Amino acid sequence: MKTLLTFAAALALVASTSAFANAHKEAPGMAASGSMGKQQTKMGNCNKDAGEKKGDERKAFMKTCLSADKPMTQQTKMKKCNVDATGKKGDERKTFMKECLSA
């Protein structure tokens, strides 16, 4: 009888230790150590797309890139830039559109 009781206690100890270890393997919201999280992947892609941009231009590009749910198509970008260019004329509009579309 004592052997059975000892065996049951040992089994319960092993089961509880295993359950505790599995529950605390990974912190909530953290990616597994071998894989990149969604935000890390997005950051890598935006860095690559930023290319040689520097200073404020890069900062603005990264902000737009990281906050976008999905990349804008060229057509969508053209529509947005046209709306933003309302009121500009001539060389001012041309310069604005060039910068807007290349961002």
Q: Where are the domains of the chain?
A: 40-71, 72-103
Worst-scoring range by mean pLDDT, 9-13, 34-38, 49-53, 65-69? Answer: 9-13
Report the percent of the chain where pLDDT is more than 90. Answer: 20
pLDDT reading at 62 higher than 80: yes
What is the spatial distance between Cα 9 and Cα 26, in angstroms, rounded to a whole number? Answer: 28
pTM of the predicted model over 0.75: no
**More confident: 19 or 2:** 2
Band (pLDDT 50/70/90 cuts) for residue 92 is: very high
**Would the CA dihedral through 26, 32, 33, 39 be positive or negative?**
negative
What is the spatial distance between Cα 63 and Cα 57, in angstroms, rounded to a whole number? Answer: 10
Element (H, E) at 97: helix 90-102
Residue 101 near residue 81 (C-beta atoms within 8 A): yes
